Structure 1
Amino acid sequence: MCTHRPTCPTADSPDREAAHTIAAHPEQGWILLCNSAVIFDDTGELLPDGQVVAPHRLCATA
């Protein structure tokens, strides 16, 4: 799948968000990474196996 050197992290790796972007649609709020993970603006994720990762954006504190 990934032809980058070094190879991008797989979709099941903890650092999956470090993979290269292959399609971006900021107007729709998502990007597709070369490991087939979809990352949403709210930091939620959809993995290639259908698993959903809940948003994990850090909240600012006063």
Structure 2
Amino acid sequence: MCQHQPTCPSADSTDREAAHLVAHHPEQGWSLLCNGVLHFEDTGELLPDGRVIAPHRPLDPGSVVTAA
């Protein structure tokens, strides 16, 4: 799928989000990467084989409740 040199990380790689953008639709909240991954603004992903990667954005440190 990827025509870049060096090639972008595959959809199965842990660094798959480093692939080049093919289409970017911020108004709809998603981007298509050249490795076939649909990346959503909430950091969730849909892989080309249909697997879903749950959102994994970092928590806002101000919203974490700690025990006293």
* TM-score bracket for this pair, using the shorter chain length: over 0.9
Residues 7-47 of structure 1: per-residue CA shift (max 9 Å, x gap): 00000000000000000100000000000000000000000
1:36 paired to 2:32: no
**Cα distance in 2, alignment partners of residues 53 and 21 from structure 1:** 18
The CA deviation at 1:60 is 1.7
Give the distance between the partners of 1:44 and 1:60, measured in 2 at CA: 17
| Structure 1 position 17 matched with structure 2 position 17 | yes
Q: Structure 2: which 5+ runs fail to align?
A: 63-68
In structure 1, C-alpha distance between the alignment counterparts of 2:27 and 2:61, rounded to whole Å:
28
Give structure 1 regions of 4+ aligned residues with deviation exceeding 6 angstroms.
none
Question: Higher Cα Rg: structure 1 or 2?
Answer: 2
Three-state SS of the structure 2 residue aligned to 1:2 is: coil
Name the amino acid aligned to 2:53.
V
TM-score, normalising length: structure 1:
0.97
CA distance in 2, matches of 1:60, 1:42: 13
Unaligned runs of 5+ in 1: none
**Separation (CA, whole Å) in 1 of partners of 2:19 and 2:61:** 29
Q: Percent identity?
A: 68
* Count of paired positions: 62
Letter of the 1:50 counterpart:
G
